[in-house]
Amino acid sequence: MAERNERPFKTVSGIPLKPVYHARDVVDAGADESVGEPGKPPYQRGAYPGMYRDKPWRIFQLSGFGNPADENERIKFLLAEGEHGFIMEHDRNTADHLYDVDNPNVVARHEDVGLTGAVIMSVRDYETVLDGIPIESTYGHPGGGVVQHAPFALSCYWTVAQRRGIDFQRLAGTGQSDFFLTYLGCVTKQQVPTRAGLRFNSDIIEFCAEHLPRWVPVSIAGYNGADTGLNAWEELGALFANAVEYLDDIKRRGNVPLEVAAAGVGGVSFRISMDFFEEIAKLRIARKMWCDLLRSRYGVTDDKATRLRIHVVTAGSSMTYQQPLNNIVRGTVMALASVLGGVQSLGVSGYDEALSIPSEHAHQMSLRIQQILQHETNLTAVADPLGGSYLLEHLGKELEERAWSFFDEIEANGGFLASLDSGWLHQRAYNNQSEWFRELEQGERAIVGVTDFDGDINPNPVDGFVGTSDAYERATERLAALRRDRDEAATGSALRQLEKVCRGDDNVIPAMMSAVAADATLGEIGHVYREVFGDWKTPIPV
C-alpha cells in the first residue's frame, strides 16, 4: 500500500464536508426546511406521488453486438430475465459516422465491426433486431445516441412500428440525440456541425409533439458530460444549458406549444458515480432546478412539463479493470444511490465494463442487482426516504447554487453549443480529469484493487466478452443483397427528396421515414448530410 497524504473531507466534486450536519446547516444554506411533497412542484422529493409503490423504476439496459440477429437474441434474453425495456446498441464504427460497412475507414479496421453493437444499416436490419419483440407494449430505445444518427434510428424504428400497424399515439420509447456524447466525449467522429444537429433535434422534438405523445424525443445525457470529466454541478449546469438551446429554438420556430415540447425535453439522463450522497442530492435538486427554470425563463407552469423524469446509467468509468467482480458491488452502490435519488429508469454497467461490452452473465448481473433492490429490500415502499436529511438538503442547496453559476458561465460563453464549438467545455472537463488523477496519484483518493488492496485470488478470471467474428462479412452480404433487391429508382428519388428537405426548413423526419422505407442505407444518408452540412471542426487537438 502506497504512502498516502491525508484524505481531505470533501465530495468528489469538491464540496467541503463537515463531521455532522444539523438543522442550522440547512437553514443557513438557504434550503427550504419544508422540502415539499413527492409528485408536486418543484418535485425535489420525486416526480410522482406514489413513486415506486405505483410503478417500480424501469430496468433498462444498453445491449447488443455483432449481427442484427445476435442483438435480437440478447434483447430477448434480457426481457425474458426481467428487463422492462431495451436500448439498442449500434456498431460505433458505422453508426456514429453514418458509414456503410464498405466505407474505407471501416474496411481499414473491419475486425472491429460489430464489437460494440450490431451493424444496422437499413430498416431491414431494424426488422431483424426487433423480430418477435412486442414493441407496442415494450418500452424501446432504438439507439441513435449520436445526434446525427438519431433521425435515421428513430425513423427506422417508427417505420417498423408503422408496418406492424401500431398506433403512434400509443408507442412508448425514447430517443437520445445527445450532444455530450460525440461533441464533448468522443469527438473523433466525422459528424455534422452543431447547428445542423440542433435543427435535427428540434425537428425530432416537434415531430414527437405532434405525433408521438408517449415518446421522449431527445434525452439529454449528462452522463456523457460527467464521464468526460464534468463534476456534479457542472453536469447539472451544462445539462440545463443544453435544454435551453432546444427550448429557445422551439420557441423561435413557433410550430408547437412550448409546454408540449418541454414535457418531451424533460426526459433526461444523468450519470451516478461512487460519491453516494452527492449523487443522491444531485438527482433530487435536478428536479427542482428544471421546474424553476421552466417557470422563470419561459413562464411554463404545466405539471407535465415541469416534472423532470430521470434515467440513470451508473458510471462506466467507476468500474475497474482489476478485480472485476468488485464492480458488482460498485454497481449495487451506484444503483442504490440512483434509486434513493428517485430515478424512473436505470441501467447498471456490467462488471466487465473496463474489459469489453457486457457478457451475457454481466448483463444478467446488472438485472439481478436491480431486482434484488426492487424485491428484497422494501426500498420501493416509501417515496423519497431520505427527504429532510440535513446533509442531503445542504448538499442539494450547494449543488444548486454552483450549477446555476456554471449555467451562467456557459451562457456568458455564448451558450451550450458555442461552448462546444470553441472547446471551452472540453477544456473544463479535461482539467477536471487531470486534477482527479493528480489526487489519485497523491493518495488523496483510493480505488480498491487499483491503488490499494491489489491482491486477487479470484479463481474465475474475467477475460472480456469477444462477441461474434463474422459481423463484417455478414454486413457486407446484407448490403449487397439490399442494393440488388431494392427499387433503385424509388431509393434514389427518396434520397433526393431528403437532400432537398435538408437544404430547406421543413421537418426532416417525414423525408427520412420515406427514405428508410425505400431502403436507403445509413451510408447513403450520411453522404447526403456531408454534402449539405459539411463536417464539424473539432475544436481541440485529437
Partner 1 sequence: MAELVSKRILLAKTALDGHWRGLNLVAIALREAGFEVILAGMATDKAIAQAVIDEDVDLLGLNVGGRVEVVERIVDAVWASYPGLPVFAGGAIPPWACRRLEAYGIEVYPPGTALPAIVDAAKRLTHVAAAPAEQT
* Contact between 271 and partner 1 per CB under 8 A: no
Q: What is 4-50 written as a DSSP string?
A: -PPPP-B-TT--B--S---HHHHHHTT--SS---TTSTT-TT-SSSS
Q: Looking at residues 277 to 316 of the shown chain, list those that interact with partner 1 (rule: CB under 8 A).
A: none
Query: Site mask, partner 1, residues 462-491, x = CB under 8 A?
Result: -xx---------------------------
* Contact between 413 and partner 1 per CB under 8 A: no
Q: Which of 227, 249, 259, 519 binds partner 1 (CB under 8 A)?
A: 227
Tell me how far CA of residue 103 lies from CA of 109, 196, 393, 512, 536, in angstroms: 10, 23, 53, 21, 19
**Nearest-approach distance from CB 245 to partner 1, in angstroms:** 22
Q: Which of 45, 84, 92, 271 binds partner 1 (CB under 8 A)?
A: 92
Q: Which of 10, 109, 214, 375 binds partner 1 (CB under 8 A)?
A: 109
Q: In angstroms, rounded to a whole number, what is the distance separating the alpha carbons of residues 237 and 232?
A: 9
Residue whose CB is less far from partner 1, 418 or 447: 447
Binding segment for partner 1 (CB under 8 A), chosen from 16-24, 167-175, 320-328, 474-482, is 320-328
Q: Looking at residues 487 to 526 of the shown chain, list those that interact with partner 1 (rule: CB under 8 A).
A: none
* Contact between 106 and partner 1 per CB under 8 A: yes
Binding segment for partner 1 (CB under 8 A), chosen from 165-173, 187-195, 396-404, 486-494, is 187-195
| Binding footprint of partner 1, residue count (CB under 8 A) | 41
Any idea which residue has 464539424 for its cell?
536
SS3 348: coil
Q: In angstroms, rounded to a whole number, what is the distance separating the alpha carbons of residues 454 and 201?
A: 46
* Contact between 119 and partner 1 per CB under 8 A: no
Peptide bond into 42 cis (omega under 30): yes
Q: With contact defined as beta carbons under 8 Å apart, do 383 and 374 qualify?
A: no
Q: In angstroms, rounded to a whole number, what is the distance separating the alpha carbons of residues 483 and 502?
A: 24
* Contact between 101 and partner 1 per CB under 8 A: no
**Nearest-approach distance from CB 199 to partner 1, in angstroms:** 23
Which residues face 86 on adjacent strands? 61, 140
Residue whose CB is less far from partner 1, 91 or 393: 91
Angle (CA) 92 94 97, round 5°: 85
**CA-based end-to-end distance of the chain:** 36
**Nearest-approach distance from CB 437 to partner 1, in angstroms:** 6
**Nearest-approach distance from CB 456 to partner 1, in angstroms:** 12
Contacts of residue 381, defined as CB under 8 A and 6 or more positions apart, other chains included, come to: 52, 53
Q: In angstroms, rounded to a whole number, what is the distance separating the alpha carbons of residues 530 and 109?
A: 22
Which residues make up the interface to partner 1 (CB under 8 A)?
92-93, 96-97, 104-106, 108-109, 111-112, 115-116, 182, 185-189, 227-229, 317, 320-322, 354-356, 430, 433-434, 437, 441, 447, 450, 461, 463-464, 541-542
